[in-house]
Each structure stands twice: as structure tokens, then as C-alpha cells.
Amino acid sequence: MTSYATLTDEDLTAFLDGEVSEARSREIEARVNADPYLQQRLEALALDTELIHDAFGDLLLQAPGAPALLGSSAVTAPPTRRIWPSLVAASLAGALFAGGLGAFFADGGPQNDWRGYVASYQALYVGKTLSHLDRSDGTKAAELAIVADTIGKDIALDALTAEGSLDYKRAQILGFKGRPLIQLAFLSKMGEPLALCIIRGEAGADEAMTSAAMEGLSAASWARDGFAYILIGGTDQAAVDSAAQHFAAVL
């Protein structure tokens, strides 16, 4: 009935949000394909809603515990809460980690070294932590520029994608004892999560590359020109070493 009426921004929004019937969706698609002006209008509405979804994820981590009136003596962690050991050292110990993860850290615990913390953190990653992320190069480059800037380093997206065996997914700022630490996350061809973490270190404290298994994961670490690095993830040490050599050469 309204087939040939003008398509409003609301119609196009509902189309983008999958809120129209299949027949209506096909009709809008056909009209957009045949009309450059409609294409422009659709493009002006083509927001990356996944980005919005992800952007608000961190707010869940910052939520206070449920109020006492709910009778919850234990603070309830949302299922998406990510665990970062340095937070334990800060102030969130106790209730937050009273459950299984408390036992995890108490049982030998990670090494008292940033790389040990990284290894413990990486051990919590699974392929699905990253596999849903499918973002444009523009988004990744913009994110990478901001993240790399926190440690005062220029990192080009090309340097992370040219390696070939790893699919670059995401950059995040983490913290270790008040110092920024960046995490660049990858998926291997086998779907295993890997992370390249970089922290600003002491100038002149260069270290040759060493390989070791940490938390059951393959890892290679090195330090050069005032930055310390670790690449960790999966169980294929040769693959990790090879990718680490690449990163050491280009970063």
C-alpha cells in the first residue's frame, strides 16, 4: 500500500535495524539500489551499532554492587566482568574475587612481574572473546592511534596486519601499577586468541627475545628502545616465535 510512498529516515532506520518484514526489506533494498540519492541517505544513517554496543560494555564493569536491600552480602559481578589482576592490588579485592577467581590467584598466583599478570589475564581469553569482532580498518586504525598514544608510541595498522598468520582484532588500554599497558589482540588461523602487550620500560634496558610457556600458553618477550613486549597465546611456540620476530622487526 505504501510501497511507492517516499521512504522516510524512519523507514530506512527500521530497515537497517531489521525491523521491517522480509517483503518490505526486499522492496527497500531494490529501491535503494536503483536510486543514488536514497543510497546517500541510507549511508548517512549507517551507524555501526556494534560499536555503540561495545562502547557501553565497560559501564557494566563500573557498576556498584547491588544495594543491601536486595540481601546480597556478596557483590555480584556481571557475567561480562573482565578480571584484571592489578585491580586486585588496587582496592577491589575481597568480595569481588571471593569466589573461584580468588582461589585462582591465591593458588600460586601470577608472577610478580607485568608479564606474569598478562599471562594470567590472557589465560582467561577464549576464541569467542574476539571472534565476534568484525570492524572496518578505519575503526581499527582510529582505535589503535588513541591506544598507542597512551604509551607514546606510533603503531601503524599495517604493522599488525602484515604478519599474515594472525588476524588483528582490537586494541585496549590496560594498566599495571598505574602505568599504561596496551594490549593488541589477535586471533590465529586456528581461532586461538593471542595478545601483543607493550609497556613503556626503562631506556637502555634492552632484552633479547626469550621464549617460554606461561600459564600453559606459548609466549615470547623482548625489550628494546624503552619498550618491553610480550606476545602470548595458543600453544604453538614456533608460530608465536615467528610472529614475535616479525613484530620485533616492524615495531
Partner 1 sequence: MSLTQDTIQNEVRQGLIPLFPRLWRYCIVVTGNPDRANDVAQAACVRALEKAHQFQAGTKLDRWVFRIAQRLWLNELRSDAVRQGGGMATLDEIDLPDPGPDAETNAYARQVMMEVMGLPEAQRTTVLLVYVEGYSYREACEILDIPIGTVMSRLAAARTSLTKKLRTEKGMMS
Residues that bind partner 1 (CB under 8 A): 8-10, 12-14, 16-17, 19, 44-49, 51-67, 69-72, 76, 78-79, 82, 84, 86-87, 90, 138-139, 141-143, 145-147, 150, 170-178
Residue among 55 and 106 whose Cβ is closer to partner 1: 55
Pairing of strands 179-188, 166-176: antiparallel
Smallest separation (angstroms) from partner 1 to the CB of 83: 9
Smallest separation (angstroms) from partner 1 to the CB of 208: 30
Name residues whose C-beta falls within 8 Å of residue 144's C-beta, 6 or more positions apart in sequence.
155, 157, 160, 171, 184
Number of other residues whose CB lies within 10 A of the CB of residue 216: 8
Name residues whose C-beta falls within 8 Å of residue 177's C-beta, 6 or more positions apart in sequence.
86, 89, 114
Residue among 23 and 238 whose Cβ is closer to partner 1: 23
Helices then strands, each counted (H, E), the chain: 12, 6
Smallest separation (angstroms) from partner 1 to the CB of 9: 4
Smallest separation (angstroms) from partner 1 to the CB of 173: 5
Residue among 63 and 213 whose Cβ is closer to partner 1: 63
Residue among 126 and 146 whose Cβ is closer to partner 1: 146
Smallest separation (angstroms) from partner 1 to the CB of 118: 12
Residue among 165 and 172 whose Cβ is closer to partner 1: 172
Residue among 105 and 236 whose Cβ is closer to partner 1: 105
Using CA atoms, how far residue 89 sits from 68, 121, 175, in Å, is 25, 14, 12
Using CA atoms, how far residue 118 sits from 85, 92, 137, 198, 217, in Å, is 9, 18, 26, 10, 11
Smallest separation (angstroms) from partner 1 to the CB of 183: 8
DSSP calls for 113-154:
SHHHHHHHHHTT--HHHHHT----HHHHHHHHHHHHHTTT--
